[in-house]
Amino acid sequence: MPIEKIIEKIDLIEARKSAPRQYIGASIVGTDCEAYLAYSLRGYPEDTIRPKTLRIFALGHKIEDLVIKDLKASGLDVLEKDHLTGRQYELTDRGGHLRAHTDGQVVLDDELYLLEVKSMNDRNWKSFKKNGVAKSHPKYVAQCQMMMGLGGFETAFFIAYNKNTSEYHVEFIKFDEFFYANLQHKVDIVMRNQARKISDNPDDWRCKMCFRRNVCWNPSDIPKSCVTCENSVPVDKPNSHKKWWCLAHDVPAEETCSEYAPYYPLEKE
């Protein structure tokens, strides 16, 4: 079999995608584009991601397991799984429309820390070590602040693995209630259907790098459902089985009707 065919078969395996998330995740809450958060909340489809990019994501998950194994071997008390579910710890808010999946918790000097593990290429890792995570990767700080706020943590144990050299670097991130409040305010904007696009130009570099660029600039690709209707809003009540509410009929949004109109974020001011 030609080498090209072998690689093609491998890429086809990597290209199989699961359904897109339908919530705002802590890992993306630091984005500057409110529209992107709205698309995630409503489960809009992502653009086709290149197989090699998917493999990079998969490798990151495997490295997380390696890092946790090393932390445990060093003598640290690491809790990476929720003993009730056997899966990652999940933190939720806003009726489940805001979620965070943590890498675990670390007990250090009798204090419980949020654990966040990242893998970086050499250039990004060196920038992190030299400048600190707030300057090198502000979105990671936002992710940690959201998780600390939802979970009641005072400090995050942030550890990064250099994929080129296998070096480690650790930074402690303190909880900032004002930072957290600003993130929650951003979530409020999205939940109220007031999200705006970050740009009015699809060729903006930020748009070119976005995984939902196509659905953002080609509205015909929006899948029809109650969740993608402009008349629906997320239900902000804990433990409610009614996740979306139809403003057109004042009933739970459970079935598309003649009032359906696709949701579009507001244009940039």
pLDDT in tens, 25-65: 999 999 999 999 999 999 998 887 777 777 787 888 899 99
- 190 band by pLDDT with thresholds 50, 70 and 90: very high
**What is the assigned CATH class of domain 13-252?**
alpha beta
CA atoms within 13 A on the CB side of 248: 14
Q: For residue 83, is pLDDT > 60?
A: yes
Q: Residue 240: what pLDDT?
A: 67
* Residues 74, 76, 77, 81, CA torsion sign: negative
Contact yes or no for 214/47 (Cβ under 8 A): yes
**Residue count of the chain:** 269
Strand 98-101 versus strand 90-93 pairing type? antiparallel
Q: For residue 207, is pLDDT > 60?
A: yes
Give 134-140's long-range contacts (Cβ < 8 A, gap of 24+): 138/30, 139/27, 139/28, 139/30, 139/31, 140/30, 140/116
Instruction: Please state, for a pLDDT cut of 90, what percent of the chain lies above it.
Output: 70
Q: Residue 191: what pLDDT?
A: 95
Q: Residue 42: what pLDDT?
A: 95
Q: Residue 11: what pLDDT?
A: 56
117-155, pLDDT tens digit by residue?
999 999 999 999 999 999 999 999 999 999 999 999 999
CA distances from 99 to 5, 53, 54, 93 (A): 40, 24, 22, 6
Q: Residue 99: what pLDDT?
A: 95
* Structural domain spans, the chain: 13-252
Q: For residue 189, is pLDDT > 70?
A: yes
Site of tokens 């070590």: 129
Q: Mean per-residue pLDDT for 185-214?
A: 94
Q: Mean per-residue pLDDT for 65-72?
A: 95
- 7 band by pLDDT with thresholds 50, 70 and 90: low
Q: Mean per-residue pLDDT for 59-84?
A: 91
Q: For residue 10, is pLDDT > 60?
A: no
Most confident of 111-120, 217-226, 240-249: 111-120
